[in-house]
Every structure is written in C-alpha cells, then in structure tokens.
Amino acid sequence: MDAFVSPQDLQDIVDQYGEDPAWWPASRRTAAQELIDVCAEAREIIAQARELREALRSMGPAAPECFSDRIISVALELDPPMDDVVWLRN
C-alpha cells in the first residue's frame, strides 16, 4: 500500500527524480499521482519542474554521448541501486 504523499513530499520526489512519474520510486508513485489528480499545488509543482527541464534543454548543446556513457560506467562500477542508474541515463 502506498503511503500518503503531501505536496512537500511530492516536491522532494520531483527534486530527486524529476517530473516524470516513471522515474519515481514505485512505492510512492501511486500516492503521488493521486495527489496530482486532486491538488492544484501538486499540479503546479509538476508544471514548474517541466518548465525548468525545458529551459535547461534550451540553454545549449548537450554533452557528447561519450560523457554520459562514461558517467554511467562509473556509476555501475560503484554499484548504486538500479533505479538511480536508470534515472541518470535519462
């Protein structure tokens, strides 16, 4: 069963994992999505995170693919939880 998620909890989730629910921990995802359905403040948190991501994308060229590949390989060598590695890849 999912725990209750407050707007502050949602902000923490978005700060850590981004605005896409697919990136969120499964244990909190349903409760967070339910909050978004009923709470204007929660929808605003998601909207602001999307705006920020788009602003960052428009700032300039992305790093070469070899940089992100190197970061992922180092992350895998450190053996983090796979959820973190998947999040890094996106």
* pLDDT tens figures, 29-54: 999 999 999 999 999 999 999 999 99
- Which comes out higher in pLDDT, residue 38 or 90? 38
Look at residue 1 in the predicted model and tell me its pLDDT: 44
pTM over the 0.85 mark: no
Long-range contacts of 43-51 (CB under 8 A, 24+ apart): 45/7, 45/10, 45/11, 45/14, 46/14, 46/19, 49/14, 49/18, 49/19, 50/19
pLDDT beyond 50 at 87:
yes
Tell me what the mean pLDDT of segment 5-17 comes to: 96
Tell me what the mean pLDDT of segment 9-35 comes to: 95
